[in-house]
Amino acid sequence: MIAELITIGDEILIGQIVDTNSAWIAENLNLIGIPVNRIVSISDSKSAIQKSIDEAFINSDIVIITGGLGPTNDDITKSTLNEYFKGNLAIHQPTLEHVSTIFKSRGLGLTELNRKQAEVPDCCVVLQNKLGTAPGMWFENEGKILISLPGVPFEMAGLMKNEVLPRLSKLITNQVVVHRTIQTFGLPESYLAEKLTNWENQLPKQVKLAYLPSPTSIRLRLSAYGAKGANLFDLVEGEVKKLYQVIPSYIYGEGEVSLQEVIGRLLKLNNASLSTAESCTGGAIAHLITQVPGSSEYFKGSVVAYSNTVKEELLGVNPDIIKKNGAVSKSVVEAMAKGVKEKLKTDYAIAVSGIAGPDGGTVEKPVGTVWIAIASNKSLFSKEIRFTSDRTQNIIRSTATALNMLRLILIDENI
């Protein structure tokens, strides 16, 4: 089975938004063994939509369309699909109830436009969109499948995960695909590739390796495709075991796990609590930690000490050491870590102080200079790092580096 993706929306064709949906869908289809043949972006135009579907069905078995399902007049995907598949639009009662509930919970009544979102062609299977008002739709015709999803990325992803991928997986019966994703932190791509050369060269030819870099980590994905019966799982498992021996401390987890989730697990495992004191990261570390459901079990809070006065008054940093060494220094970041650990009564504390930029750099401490400290009941560790000249990158990298330092210390002190 081969898929084609069609993205609908004038906003893509005028370059106002980047189409991230297609990459997300393509990656997830590939993971279940469905290759993507082509990705097409077209305007909110009936003829363009119809023509693209015709074209897509020539070479593909599955067409996934995103976008054009909003309540306003420029959104015409639903009516066009209804016409294409010769259906009739009718209110879908469960969707209407769902839409009503959403608006009620916001204290709003149902308008005629909202009501229209619950209308669907009677010739499709409705895919319930728990995260929004526009339902997904699944059409089948002459052995071909067309799936229509909303363009809002998190709604699209929710529908793909909950409805589309499980259904498509069931259709693929004669093929086995095994994927393992290993999350690494701390080595740039070229260094990691060099360290892995020997391991990579001995990989069995059924096993393919991909480097997937992000601003904060490099994921290594091992994939093996084959006919049912081939023991691909053990094959991949064996290679992963070897990989752990080559770069043990650089691997922080597997699958889609994040550094903050790994830290959460380690803290819970050791019944330990955490606080943070943040200057240049401005709350980004606390924000990442608290994105994890249940983080209130171990995370007590953070003091974002953007001004020196806050460092002194809330964290008890001695004004003299700020005057003497500057706010971006070993002594200040260590005092911040000790201060927040004590004030918030936690077992561990992270502190960060740096120059995110674009202003504030000097010859000795250029933009990108960041001090990170980790305080525990047993130790106080700090480190200076030079990142880039870009503010956003400096915040992201400081945050990830601090979380990884805590991870290594948590492992070191608790095993």
- Residues 13-42 close enough to bind a second copy by CB under 8 A: 13-20, 22-30, 35-42
Which range, of 60-68, 85-93, 98-106, 328-336, touches a second copy by CB under 8 A? 98-106
| Nearest distance from C-beta of residue 16 to a second copy, angstroms | 6
The 3-state DSSP class for residue 207 equals strand
Give the pairing type, strands 207-213 and 119-121: unpaired
Which range, of 165-173, 206-214, 227-235, 330-338, touches a second copy by CB under 8 A? 206-214
Torsion of CA 25, 31, 33, 36, to 10 degrees: 30
x/- contact string, 74-93, with a second copy (CB under 8 A)? x-------------------
x/- contact string, 320-349, with a second copy (CB under 8 A)? -----------------------xxx----
Residue in 358, 286, 296, 353 with CA at minimum distance from that of residue 325: 353
Sequence length of the chain is: 415
| Nearest distance from C-beta of residue 231 to a second copy, angstroms | 21
Residue in 76, 7, 68 with CA at minimum distance from that of residue 36: 7
How many residues bind a second copy, per CB under 8 A?
Answer: 111
**Matching residue, tokens 């983080």:** 295
Nearer to a second copy, 52 or 376 (CB): 52
Question: Judged by CB under 8 A, does residue 114 bind a second copy?
Answer: yes
CA angle 47, 149, 33 (to 5 degrees): 105
Q: Is the dihedral of CA 57, 59, 61, 63 positive or negative?
A: negative
Binding residues for a second copy restricted to 52-71, rule: CB under 8 A? 70-71
CA angle 330, 333, 338 (to 5 degrees): 120
The 3-state DSSP class for residue 119 equals strand
What is the Cα 126 distance to its own chain's centre? Answer: 27
Task: Report the distance separating Cα 179 and Cα 225, nearest Å.
Answer: 9
Which range, of 60-68, 89-97, 244-252, 354-362, touches a second copy by CB under 8 A? 354-362
| Nearest distance from C-beta of residue 400 to a second copy, angstroms | 14
Binding residues for a second copy restricted to 243-272, rule: CB under 8 A? none
Which range, of 77-85, 261-269, 307-315, 406-414, touches a second copy by CB under 8 A? 307-315
CA angle 394, 396, 399 (to 5 degrees): 100
Q: Which of 295, 331, 376, 404 is close enough to bind a second copy by CB under 8 A?
A: 295
305, amino acid identity: A
Q: Which of 33, 226, 283, 316 is close enough to bind a second copy by CB under 8 A?
A: 283
Which range, of 165-173, 227-235, 236-244, 296-304, touches a second copy by CB under 8 A? 296-304
Binding residues for a second copy restricted to 143-182, rule: CB under 8 A? 152, 154, 179, 181
